[in-house]
Amino acid sequence: MKMICINCPKGCELDVSRGADGAVVVTGHSCPRGETYGRSELVNPTRMVTGLVRVAGMRKPLPVKTRTPVPKGKIPDVLFALHQTTVQLPVKIGDVIIPGVAGTDVDIVATANM
């Protein structure tokens, strides 16, 4: 599997595959971060999720994000949870809005003060 490492602007072209013994083999990286990224993309790809949640009594929504990346397969469930959520003010940056979103151990946190 070919992919571009997105960890820095250099954008190394990675080739990620499984060897005969099933072990993940990464080539094309210029530093250890690229190898880690390529390995995780093959075994358990994850992404940060950003979005908006409703604020009670206001038209302006609150911007939020996952504190850490979540498995790609969980993204629809995360977005559904955001859609179902309404927060009460006040909220500070970093406040936990949804603990353990969508059955993960990842919190949704506020990215703005309101």
> Of 8 and 96, which has the nearer Cβ to ligand SF4?
8
User: Binding segment for ligand SF4 among 3-11, 46-54, 60-68, 96-104 (CB under 6 A)?
Assistant: 3-11
Tokens of 51: 């979005």
Give the residue ranges of DSSP H helices in the chain: 32-43, 75-83
Binding mask of the shown chain, residues 8 to 47, with x at each position contacting ligand SF4 by CB under 6 A: x-xxx----------------xxx-xx-------------
Smallest separation, CB 70 to ligand SF4 (Å): 21
User: How far lies 113's CA from each of 40, 59, 74, 96, 101, in Å?
Assistant: 33, 15, 27, 12, 21
Of 103, 62, 57, the C-alpha closest to 80 is 103
Q: What are the residues binding ligand SF4 (CB under 6 A)?
A: 5, 7-8, 10-12, 29-31, 33-34
